[in-house]
Amino acid sequence: MRTISSTSATLAEVDYLTRIQAGRHSLLADEPASAGGTDAGPAPYDYLLAGLAACTLMTLRMYAQKKGWELGTMDVQITLGKDQDKQTHIHRQLSSSVSLTEEQWQKLLEIAAKTPVTLTLLQGAAITTERAGDSL
């Protein structure tokens, strides 16, 4: 298996405050006060959606650059929810500060549906967990 990304995290002494190391970047995660946290950082689902948002916009920029398209400032708004059957739904809305043709929008929406993070979420992932020091 080829490693694509690696992240480590440490649960701090304060309730749910978690220190994350993603490469050379240090991040904090926490739960909101309403969930017993101190709201010192984004919650885990916020990071999941942030990763999807970043991957979406970066992939669209790469595609547009190859096509020579000017995208202006692109924004994405993403929401996550669960229906009464507990099925998870993620909804993504894109906007641009410049006028794009209908054909450009259709292609961008098609590309957004195929970003690496989108495909990972749609396909799922085999997740294994072990105690440190043990081997699979």
- Answer for the pair 30, 38: CB distance below 8 angstroms, yes or no: yes
Q: Residue 74's pLDDT is what? A: 98
Q: Residue 126's pLDDT is what? A: 95
Locate tokens 């309730």: which residue? 15
Domain boundaries, the chain: 1-42, 43-125
Q: What is the pLDDT of residues 20-48, one digit of tens each?
A: 999 999 999 999 999 999 999 999 999 99
Distance CA 86, CA 75 (A): 28
Distances (CA, A) of 6 to 13, 22, 56, 115, 130: 23, 7, 20, 19, 16
Q: Cα(first)–Cα(last) distance of the chain, in Å?
A: 14
CATH assignment of 43-125, among 3.90.1010.10, 3.90.950.10, 3.40.50.1380, 3.30.300.20: 3.30.300.20
Q: Is the pLDDT of residue 116 over 80?
A: yes
Q: Is the pLDDT of residue 134 over 90?
A: no
- Answer for the pair 19, 12: CB distance below 8 angstroms, yes or no: yes
When pLDDT is cut at 50, 70 and 90, the band that residue 135 belongs to is low
When pLDDT is cut at 50, 70 and 90, the band that residue 136 belongs to is low
